[in-house]
Structure 1
């Protein structure tokens, strides 16, 4: 199957209503960022539990708006609705705000259509942040079910014995840009949070 037909296959599937959607902002780094690691692991009464897993990503040349991966045996497709919008906060900090739709794929969409997967080993610390009626934020364990909130994570990545790191926020439910900005204001001063280092996984993977 040629590349064009692969893309058409995914675009046809992603024309269906998504299983979920999220408002996301993410950064990638080539070295640890202690301030962000400490923010996640020590900044809230609820402490995250370290999770380790390996995800397989299938790069789709020329399509940085598509992400196809296998996570814990499930095939997931994500599609970005629009080009990321620059979001500035805390003075000099900034990142690209993106809306992503997600589908859990049926078994007939087999990964062999997409050769040469990239295997990313992840050690992740994640929390779900719930808004309250007073405007405050409450941290909950990642496994907590919430109808709306923000998932925040710091992840150490390993690929071909090389180390990378990512920090990201996913707003779900009715969380909008204003709520994300309110939470971003809590982040510590960190010069690494720039537009140059902000992207979704497909853009970053295409440049490995």
Structure 2
């Protein structure tokens, strides 16, 4: 099981151009790298904002919120809610259990198209950051991502930080990475009211 500290925001419509440019200049080490494009299938459970279940690339992922850790502020114009999550992964090597045709016509399963720009950072013992490739194994780190979302033919976008590592360092890993990202003014006011995880986002989309 993987434990993470996460900080996310969600906003309707396409991401503003200034946010895309800010992210490329201040978060990505190689701004011209191609984003990841994929489809995730979420189980919509409106009464369970603490639980996230999805099918992703023939793998079942289950996440549950362990704790709400309060609000962090950065650079005067950014505030967001930190949550502690546990993640459990189940892979089907025979590709027999998690087939999309079993859920594609079931209304409780929701398709979300994603175009995701991301950068992984290793947090070194002296609390400095070192950019890494996604496939490298590190003990303490944080991933920052800008994701363009399409759900029910509607466009959304999300900015997120996902820190992992030693329990005693999870908050430091998150804060150091977010401080680095927001060290340069992004030209956008991120509010705590828009800060939540994917289960709450799905409830907001379907509750409108």
Fold-level similarity (TM above 0.5): yes
Q: Within 1, Cα distance between the matches of 2:65 and 2:196?
A: 11
2:196 aligns to what? 199
Q: Within 1, Cα distance between the matches of 2:123 and 2:91?
A: 34
1:96 to 81, 97, 106: 81
2:25 to 34, 38, 42: 42
Q: Within 1, Cα distance between the matches of 2:125 and 2:19?
A: 27
2:15 aligns to what? 32
SS of 1:62 mapped into structure 2: coil
Residue-by-residue CA offset, 1:117-140 (whole Å, 9 max, x unaligned): 110000001111112344331212
Q: Is 2:179 the partner of 1:185?
A: yes
Provide the alpha-carbon RMSD of the alignment.
2.3
1:81 aligns to what? 66
Q: Within 1, Cα distance between the matches of 2:29 and 2:113?
A: 28
Q: CA deviation at 1:189?
A: 2.5
Which runs of structure 2 are paired with 1:1-208 in the superposition (5 Å)? 19-30=1-12, 31-43=14-26, 44-47=28-31, 48-105=33-90, 115-174=107-166, 175-186=169-180, 187=182, 188-190=184-186, 191-208=188-205
Contact 1:46 1:141 in 2 (8 A): no
Task: Kindly report structure 1 stretches of 4+ aligned residues shifted beyond 4 Å.
Answer: 106-112
SS of 2:67 mapped into structure 1: coil
Q: Within 1, Cα distance between the matches of 2:177 and 2:91?
A: 35
Q: Within 1, Cα distance between the matches of 2:149 and 2:131?
A: 24
Any gaps of 5 or more consecutive residues in structure 2? none
Residue-by-residue CA offset, 1:56-96 (whole Å, 9 max, x unaligned): 00111311000010010111110000235211222231101
SS of 1:206 mapped into structure 2: helix
Q: CA deviation at 1:183?
A: 2.3
Q: Within 1, Cα distance between the matches of 2:68 and 2:39?
A: 28
Q: Within 1, Cα distance between the matches of 2:115 and 2:57?
A: 14
Q: TM-score, normalised by structure 2?
A: 0.80
